[in-house]
Amino acid sequence: MVRVLFVCLGNICRSPMAEAVFADLVDRAGMAARFDIDSAGTAGYHVGQRPCPGTLRILEQVGLPCAGRARRVTTADLTRFDYLIGLDTTNRDDLTHLLAQNNLPPKASRLLDFAPEIESKDVPDMYYHGNFEEAYALISAGCRGLLAHLTKAHNLRAA
């Protein structure tokens, strides 16, 4: 089982979108049983809230479900998940700091590290700029690259 946690600031825009996109890619690849996929935020501003309307709108347009509610990264997440995927550099750095505080090895990456064709490595925060279409395109590219990386790294095949 490969455990992947997507992380942004509040867990209402980018990380739930990444969770939904990645889960769909994994499902379409026939590998859903091989993954545990979730999302969380580094801050607790929106705990318990549904994803923001823009995220839900984009996901609905592409036919992806999104039933989760915002939650904050926990200490247990740091050990449970194999891959901590920040949606931008600040999220990745916050995760790296949390891992170090808990004497855990570094295992945080940025999602767009897995999309070498994209120059910027940060998915802009739609909460502030509102461009959900751009974020969806970036997240989709990063998720495709992440799945390719994990498939190779773990020698995964469809169940």
> What are the φ and ψ backbone dihedral angles of 39, each rounded to 5 degrees?
-145, 160
Any catalytic annotation for residue 66?
Answer: no
Cα–Cα dist 119/134, whole Å? 14
14 given a catalytic annotation:
yes
- Nearest residue to 25 via CA among 125, 155, 153, 150: 150
Separation between Cα atoms, residue 58 and residue 103, nearest integer Å? 38
- Whether 8 is catalytic is yes
Looking at 24, 77, 125, 143, which residue is catalytic? 125
Reduce the DSSP state of residue 40 to 3 states and report it: strand
Q: Is 8 helix (H, G, I), strand (E, B) or coil?
A: strand
C-alpha distances (whole Å) from 159 to each of 41, 63, 96, 145 are 31, 24, 33, 20
* Catalytic site positions: 8, 14, 125
